Structure 1
């Protein structure tokens, strides 16, 4: 079982702040995400800047695309994105168009699991060649006090057994990672807990320590 990657979600509202955060944390993570908020605020130049500064990193454009799959994919992959996200409610045609464009650039797409989705939906995504999904506990759910529970773990595990490479996000702490022991998680995604702390390197190290101890 491969060790999960560690991903930082850069969700600042201006590019300068995002790049400052990336500079502090990039040496300690595997994936740099131009988050949805950052992409809304600054557009695809956020992807271009991250790629130019960090040529060795996986760069994710978290667009949560719902339409215009080929156009949006062309915008981000031509600027150096490695992965791009699609919202789970997007039409299959949109997903297929984005995937086809991603493959043209040797990239890939991920489906963000929000709201109402089913395992039958996941099977249809797998059938078209989409193998990455993001299990997401949104910031509104976090604010409402919803923690990680057994149902979350079982759903991630089932997706993995189906053949999905599942990334996990939503207010994760290093101790939360242990709940996913035995599941081949693709990435663990953190944001403010990494870049909004006094010592980002130490915070990332705490995540990596758990990953190294639980996934061998």
Structure 2
């Protein structure tokens, strides 16, 4: 984190980190990065209000809820996020529909995360026209997307027609010989495509 905190806009307390370290992971990142957006990537499926209260109380700005969660869980999590000045991101994994997305937007959620999962990437799955069409449809509903799944700076032009909120680039940064340079390459691409707008 020390190498990158001045080079990124958003810091994620990832699912695996939080499963191993608990709520302390969010608190530690907030202490290390007081001026950054912190994401509690918990993929909440139930107890939306309680977990949102814990996440935002620990210093998160955004918390993830898995797309399979009941709408009531999303509503309760979103209401608590609003009370705490935070936001909910819907984590799009597995089965979901555009009707689901319309429901999330209707209750006030404005962010979603579009994935190419670790396993899909490892098996060679690439970003395709079907992905881009679904992202465009989500954008048209009014959701801003964080895009993840082995993203590199060279991939960013693929998403120029999408309402992008952020790129989640953990693997590209963690595996780089010079992570700050890779972060700079991301920023340069974002600036050239979207005019320097930041989350």
TM range (shorter): over 0.9
Given that 1:194 and 1:204 are in contact with CA atoms closer than 8 Å, whether structure 2 keeps it comes out as yes
1:134-159 Cα deviation digits (max 9, x unpaired):
11111011111101111111111111
Give a deviation string over 1:111-142, Cα, whole Å, max 9, x none: 00011110000001111111110111110111
| CA shift for structure 1 position 164 | 0.5
Question: 1:37-186 to 2 correspondence within 5 Å?
Answer: 37-186=16-165
Instruction: Give RMSD over aligned pairs.
Output: 0.9
Q: How many residues align?
A: 195
**Which ranges of structure 2 fall in alignment gaps of 5 or more residues?**
none
1:34–1:47 contact (8 Å) kept in structure 2? yes
What secondary structure, in the 3-state scheme, does the structure 2 residue paired with 1:32 have? strand
TM-score scaled by structure 1? 0.88
TM-score by length of 2: 0.95
| Cα drift, residue 25 of structure 1 | 1.0
Unpaired runs of at least 5, structure 1: 1-21
Q: Give the conservation status (yes or no) of the 8 Å contact 1:165–1:185.
A: yes
Partners of 2:158 and 2:175 lie apart in 1 by: 24
Which structure has more relative contact order (CA 8 Å, sep 6+)? It is 1
- Other-structure match for 1:11: none
Q: CA deviation at 1:167?
A: 1.0
Q: Which runs of structure 1 show a deviation greater than 3 angstroms over 4 or more consecutive aligned residues?
A: none
